Amino acid sequence: MMRRAFKNIPAVVYVALVYLFIFMPVAVLVLFSFQDSLLPIPPFQGPSLRWYQAVFSDFRIMGALGNSLMVAVVSSALSCLLGFLAAYGLARYTIRGSGVVQWLMVAPLSVSYLIIGMGLLITFKTMGIPKSLIAVIIGHVVINLPLAFAIIYSQMGEHQANLERAARDLGAAEWQVLVLITLPLLWPALLASFFLSFTLSWDEFIIALLVSRFDVTLPVEIWSLLRSGLNPKTNAVGSLVFIVSIILVFVTEFLVFGRRKSQ
C-alpha cells in the first residue's frame, strides 16, 4: 500500500501541500488558543488554558452559546416536522399542482441567505414585529425546511408505500400508519435532516445578525468579538465551535453513510 503511494511522489507532494493549505488556518487558530500572552501571534508561548477559562466565565458568550443551541434545536425540529409532513403529503396523496408545490418547497435553496434575511428584516419591520431569537428561528426554518423536505422526500420509496398499504389493509388508522410504519422506516432520513439542519443553524450568521438584537446567537457574538481585533479569547471560542461542528459532522456522516453502506 505504502509502496503504491511512494511510486507517485509528485502526487504525494501535491496532496501534502493542499492539505497544508487547508489545515493551516485551523491549526493556527487552535494552537494560539493556548497562547499564554495577549496576542494570538507568533512566538507561541504556553500552553495555557487561561483563554478557555476566560471564555467559560464570560456570561455573554455562554448566553450566546445557549441561545445558539436553543435556536438550532427548535428550528431543526420544526424543519423536520414540517418537511416530513409535506413529504408525506406529496408522496402519498395526489395533489393538484404538486409540481408547483415541490418547486416552492425547495425554492429557498436557490436564494442567498443575505437576501432571505433582508426579506425577513423588511417584512418584520413593516409589520412592527421586533427583532428577536424567534425571528432567527423563523429564518432558520426557512433555510432548513427545503433540505429536510428534499432529504425525507427522496427516501419515501415504493417499499414504504407497500408497507403502509399493508398496515391500512389490516385496519390501521392514518395516525397509526404514520407513527408505527412511516416514522420508524424514515428514522435515518429524519435524523440526518435534523443534524444537517442543526449544523447549518449552528453556523448561520447573516440572518441571525439581521433579525436579532439583544439576545444573539454564537456566530453573531463571535462577530462582535472580532471588533477587538486579534484576541486569543476569540481563538478559544473558535476552537470550541470547531470541535462542536466536527462532532456534529461525524454524527451526521455516521447516520447517513453508515446507513447507506448497510443497504
Partner 1 sequence: MPEKRNIKGWGFVGPGLLWTVAFFAVPLLIMAAYSLFQRVGGRIVTDLSLSNYLAFFSKPHHLNALVNSLEVTLITTLISIILAYPLAYILAYRVPARWQRIALMMAILPFWTSYVVRSYSWLLVLSNNGVISNVLQWMGIVDGPVSLANSRTATVLGFVHFFTMLLTLTIFANLVQISPNYRKAAADLGASRWQTFWRITLPLSIPGVMVGAFLTIVLALGDYITPQILGGFREVLLPQAIMLQIQRQADFPMASAMSLVLMVVISIIFLLFSRWLKIERM
Residues 210-239 interacting with partner 1 (rule: CB under 8 A)? 210, 219, 222-223, 226, 230, 234-235, 237-238
Rounded Cα distance between 132 and 214, Å, is 8
Give 100's contacts (C-beta < 8 A, 6+ positions apart). none
x/- mask, partner 1, residues 101-140, rule CB under 8 A, reads x--xx-xx-xxxxxxx-xxxxxx-xx-----------xx-
The x, y and z cell numbers of residue 73, run together, are: 434545536
| Residues 200 and 249 sit within 8 Å (Cβ to Cβ) | no
Residue (27 or 166) nearer to partner 1, CB: 27
Q: How far is the CB of 152 from partner 1 (least distance, A)?
A: 11
Q: Figure out which of the listed residues 64, 145, 190, 216 binds partner 1, where binding follows CB under 8 A.
A: 145
Interaction between residue 1 and partner 1 (CB under 8 A): yes
Helix, strand or coil, per DSSP, at residue 230 = coil
Q: Does 177 bind partner 1 (CB under 8 A)?
A: no
- With respect to partner 1, which residue has the nearer C-beta, 83 or 194? 83
Cα 251 from Cα 60, distance rounded (Å) = 28
- For residue 209, the minimal CB distance to partner 1 (Å) is 9
HSE (side-chain half, CA atoms, 13 Å) at 105: 24
Tell me: does residue 173 bind partner 1 (CB under 8 A).
Answer: no
Which CB, 59 or 175, lies closer to partner 1? 175
* Piece in contact with partner 1 (CB under 8 A), picked from 47-55, 56-64, 144-152, 159-167: 144-152
Contacts by residues 117-125 (CB-CB < 8 Å, ≥ 24 positions apart) = 117/206, 117/207, 117/209, 117/210, 117/211, 118/210, 120/207, 120/210, 120/211, 121/210, 121/211, 124/211
Q: List the grid coordinates of 36.
A: 499564554
Which residues, numbered 49-78, are part of the site for partner 1 (CB under 8 A)? Answer: none
CB of 8 to partner 1, least distance (A): 6
Judged by CB under 8 A, the residue of 15, 20, 38, 173 near partner 1 is 15
Return the residue of 69, 74, 82, 251 that touches partner 1, per CB under 8 A. 82
3-state helix, strand, coil in the chain (%, to 5): 80, 0, 20
